[in-house]
Structure 1
């Protein structure tokens, strides 16, 4: 089981700033002050971002808010220890999201290893939890060799990687100009449906090569809607990924295509 540490674009979890501002203003006009709403509005203003998908999220959130990631690591470790005590065989992996440089990963890893050591000492459990990262940013893909020094596995977050490579937000552009791009032949198919082999795919391929040059046993996978797309699954097999993951409803297709890709690969080898 791979557990991704918190990666919330904060705007998806905070109250709407306009709605909250109106509520506070109306309450003040009635001289009916609500201290909770006032504190909440101050917090929302403080955390408000113009482009939250490229803002305070992922590993940045864990580094800026002390204890956030260590709390989650402790919970995962204690759960694994409880399963061991119950004669289970937990195989948990901890995935650190949105890393852009190895220094970020090293800082989080240092804290995580300290927490794991504390849980081992407190429970006596022989915990073996792999620590890895998501490759979701072009810089992470370009420096994959360095990042692999501190990561035991990579999961390519192809949704965010596609957004950052192309420089557009999926939520915004699909309704605005994708239809025109498809009609003009700029896209044969949406890069969010099938992996863009020339751009995003090249980064994935190069990151696989660089990562395994540093750590030959590096476990590699993909997390995103591309993991359930037949053409993309075959590409991921070709570049050497170990697994794909996707939305639940796409799992049957992903399993079928992963099997077909493996069978075709074996057939080519036999020839």
Structure 2
């Protein structure tokens, strides 16, 4: 039986953990076959949460309708450690020593993970100028990270429900500070 959709709704399918365009192409082909059978129109995109995906975003963009940065996983893979392992083991000491000013899981690491985001945005949009790019995860509700994402050219942020008011406020501030009228 065909899926029932609310009038005007257009679902999106987000494929996680893509590291090569061939993965997304294979999933996209199968998803489109099923969607055609159901008579459903859906956009198909991917999470950019693997460093390799960020570095090959131009290729991946040709097979994606949108990107959403999974910054929690991108941070873990970019730094080479699991949040669960380090927060109880040595993170507090790293903060005491000034190795980190703030946890990279709280606020985006602009120099490392942020650089991967900028590369992916630039290459993704070079390959596909209409590519919608967002971020999901706790960074999407962090004020400093929101300003970074606006500067990097992202279109949207998502976060935990309790962080939505702060995210909306900071997205607005970021747009006004940048002199633009959008609130990304």
Report the TM-score when normalising by structure 1: 0.65
Question: What's the offset of the Cα at 1:89?
Answer: 1.1
Question: What's the offset of the Cα at 1:92?
Answer: 1.3
Question: What's the offset of the Cα at 1:187?
Answer: 0.2
2:78 matched residue in structure 1 = 165
Question: What's the offset of the Cα at 1:128?
Answer: 2.6
Q: Could you say which structure has the greater relative contact order, defined with CA pairs below 8 angstroms and 6 or more residues apart?
A: 2
Q: Distance in 1 between matches of 2:14 and 2:110?
A: 25
Runs ≥4 in structure 1, deviation > 4 angstroms?
none
Query: Aligned pair 1:145/2:67, yes or no?
Result: no
Q: Distance in 1 between matches of 2:55 and 2:45?
A: 17
1:96 matched residue in structure 2 = 15
Q: Distance in 2 between matches of 1:152 and 1:138?
A: 19
Question: How do 1:1-271 and structure 2 match up within 5 A?
Answer: 78-79=2-3, 82-83=4-5, 88-120=7-39, 127-266=40-179
Question: What's the offset of the Cα at 1:116?
Answer: 1.1
Q: Select the structure of larger CA radius of gyration.
A: 1
Aligned length: 181
SS at match of 1:161: helix
Question: What's the offset of the Cα at 1:230?
Answer: 0.2
Q: Distance in 2 between matches of 1:172 and 1:83?
A: 42
1:24 matched residue in structure 2 = none
SS at match of 1:105: helix
User: What is the CA RMSD across the aligned residues, in angstroms?
Assistant: 1.4
Q: Distance in 1 between matches of 2:95 and 2:5?
A: 51
Structure having the higher helix fraction is 1
Q: Distance in 2 between matches of 1:197 and 1:83?
A: 40
Q: After the TM superposition, which of the residue ranges 88-97 and 226-235 deviates more from structure 2? A: 88-97
Report the TM-score when normalising by structure 2: 0.95
Q: Distance in 1 between matches of 2:157 and 2:35?
A: 28
SS at match of 1:238: helix
Which ranges of structure 1 fall in alignment gaps of 5 or more residues?
Answer: 1-73, 121-126
Which ranges of structure 2 fall in alignment gaps of 5 or more residues?
Answer: none
